[in-house]
Amino acid sequence: MIQVEHLSKSFSGKPVLTDVSLEILEGETMAIIGRSGSGKSVLMKHIVGLLEPDAGRVLVDGTDINAVSYNELRRIRQQFGVLFQGGALFDSMNAFDNVAFPLRHFTRLSEAEIRDRVLHCLSMVQLPDVGPKKPSELSGGMQKRVALARAVALEPRYIIYDEPTSGLDPQTSNTINELIKNLAAELNVTSIVVSHDMHSVLVIADRAAFLYNGRIHWSGTIEEMHRSNDRELLDFVKASEYQIGPAAVRSSHTY
């Protein structure tokens, strides 16, 4: 379980996060949503220990990640897989070596064991034959899937998805959404999805937290989101061309 407790962070005197508290439960998929500049990425970086808070703390399985040694923090980080917004594949490496990279740097597996693990991960993302290809030879959706294979290579307990469907066409986005759902079930991982894509959020998430002006303005289950009367939340979702809340329920019965 991940616990964010009264987290605050400012840059150059400008508050970005203010008294943010959030629990991410074991095995669930939590979506962190909000407008650009609301602090989503800053919160994500605190969760993996890339930033230190000005106040508050982040607990991963009961451990305050900013109160441990660097070596212990590295061990905790290895429990996280991260799918970066742009994929962040190494252009100079083929797909196989990209997925093998964390295995070669953070494990003592033999090359034969690494090969088996890489091929298994590429199969999980439905790309069993792309190992020899460079990122430049792959479509944007395929690059995201290779990056996802790399994110699960170390068998993490937590996977963070940073705008996983950004820049993808609707059909490819649906493929990524299905992969996220399938991996959550198959690997029994806890997933944190940072996204603007409300279609994706409504399909894959169990719960969501809405950041507004640097604070958790609303949080709850997707079912509770559909019943919400919260104006800021409804406006945010509506801007994504979706409608939730009582008005959506009424319109569905108007025939």
Average pLDDT, the chain: 89
d(CA 215, CA 234) in angstroms, rounded, equals 17
- Is 245 among the domain residues? yes
d(CA 111, CA 115) in angstroms, rounded, equals 6
The string of pLDDT tens digits covering residues 61-80 is 999 999 999 999 989 998 99
d(CA 217, CA 133) in angstroms, rounded, equals 44
The domain boundary residue, chosen from 136, 155, 174: 155
Instruction: Evaluate if residue 172 carries a pLDDT over 50.
Output: yes
Residue 240: predicted pLDDT: 66
Of the candidates 26, 31, 18, the residue with the CA atom closest to the CA atom of residue 200: 31
Same domain for 205 and 125: no
Same domain for 149 and 95: yes
The domain boundary residue, chosen from 155, 183, 198: 155
Residue 239: predicted pLDDT: 76
Instruction: Evaluate if residue 130 carries a pLDDT over 90.
Output: yes
Q: Any residues with CB less than 8 A from the CB of 14 and at least 6 apart, and which?
A: none
Q: Which domain holds residue 30?
A: 2-79+160-252
245, 203 contact by CB (below 8 A): no
Walk across the sheet containing 190-194 and list its strands.
80-83, 158-162, 190-194, 29-34, 207-212, 215-221
Residue 189 banded pLDDT, cuts 50, 70, 90: very high
Same domain for 164 and 73: yes
CA 50 to chain centre: 15
d(CA 78, CA 82) in angstroms, rounded, equals 10
Number of domains in the chain: 2
The domain boundary residue, chosen from 155, 189, 206: 155
Same domain for 247 and 169: yes
Same domain for 48 and 106: no
Residue 237 banded pLDDT, cuts 50, 70, 90: confident
Please give the single-letter amino acid code of residue 195: S
- Is 85 among the domain residues? no
Burial 155-177 (b: 16+ CB within 10 A, else e): ebbbbbbbbbbbebeeebbebbb
Work out the percent of the chain whose per-residue pLDDT is above 70.
94
- Is 201 among the domain residues? yes
The string of pLDDT tens digits covering residues 12-44 is 999 999 999 999 999 999 999 998 888 899 999
* Collapsed DSSP state (helix, strand, coil) of residue 11: strand
Same domain for 248 and 168: yes
Same domain for 248 and 164: yes
CATH number where 36 lies: 3.40.50.300
Work out the percent of the chain whose per-residue pLDDT is above 90.
69
216, 21 contact by CB (below 8 A): yes
- Is 84 among the domain residues? no
* Collapsed DSSP state (helix, strand, coil) of residue 125: coil
